[in-house]
Amino acid sequence: MFFDDSLIQYHLKNKIQQSSAAGKYHLEQQMVICDGACRADMALFTGDETHGFAIKSDRDSLAHLGRQIEHLGRFFDRLTIVTGHHWGEVSARTPPWVGVLMATQDENGEFCWVRARAGGRSPHTDPRLASQVLWRSYLQERLTALQGQPPPASWCRARLADHLITLCGADGARREVLKFLHWRRTAPPISLTGWDVR
């Protein structure tokens, strides 16, 4: 079987939805991060962690794999490379904390998954990168709610995000990202000042 992007992406989305169905999560496809420097084919946000997935189909080159892992490993708590026939080379060229999920066929010729390597948490995660998805207006309202007064109007988005991380910590900032993505998908525009941040 030839494993192209669309086939892998279809089955990967189903797998993520099935394994995450019991808990609260948000799934984004084709998520651009690091100010456009990199893209995650799928991004899973839960209350506990963020998980990025990069697809390397049988048509794809692995020339930029190292740079992609560097960017994604700073943004996400966990990272999994999803591939087909490249799985051996991907496993050899990636550090142990990166998961490797292999698309293959079972004895009946049906599509199935094999976890070539479970991986672990990224040692390079930077909450400031994850906060890049937050809009400036969101940050202004959330900071106003947290500290009881608006932040200075002159503050740029990056400074607002840094202040949010200072107030909430890395785990709190992760929860803010999840809340924002859920809000953006379901019910904009609404006021965010009354949301619980604990």
The answer for residues whose C-beta is within 8 angstroms of residue 138's C-beta and 6 or more apart is 180, 192
Concatenate the DSSP letters of all residues of 1-27 into one string: ----HHHHHHHHHHHHHHHHTTS-EEE
Answer yes or no: is pLDDT of 197 > 70.
no
Average pLDDT over residues 5-9: 88
**Nearest to residue 79, comparing CAs of 90, 88, 183?**
90
Could you report the per-residue pLDDT of 113-138, keeping only the tens digit for each? Answer: 999 999 999 999 888 887 888 889 88
Distance CA 96, CA 74 (A): 15
Distance CA 198, CA 191 (A): 18
Q: What is the pLDDT of residue 196?
A: 38
Q: Is 141 exposed, middle or buried (0-12, 13-18, 19+ CB in 10 A)?
A: middle
Least confident of 22-31, 161-170, 184-193: 184-193
Q: What is the pTM of this model?
A: 0.79
Q: What is the pLDDT of residue 188?
A: 44
Average pLDDT over residues 10-21: 82
Q: What is the pLDDT of residue 172?
A: 84
Give the phi and the psi of residue 46 in degrees, each rounded to 5: -120, 180
Q: How many C-beta atoms surround the C-beta of residue 139 within 10 A?
A: 24
Q: Are 142 and 164 in contact (CB under 8 A)?
A: yes
Answer yes or no: is pLDDT of 162 > 50.
yes
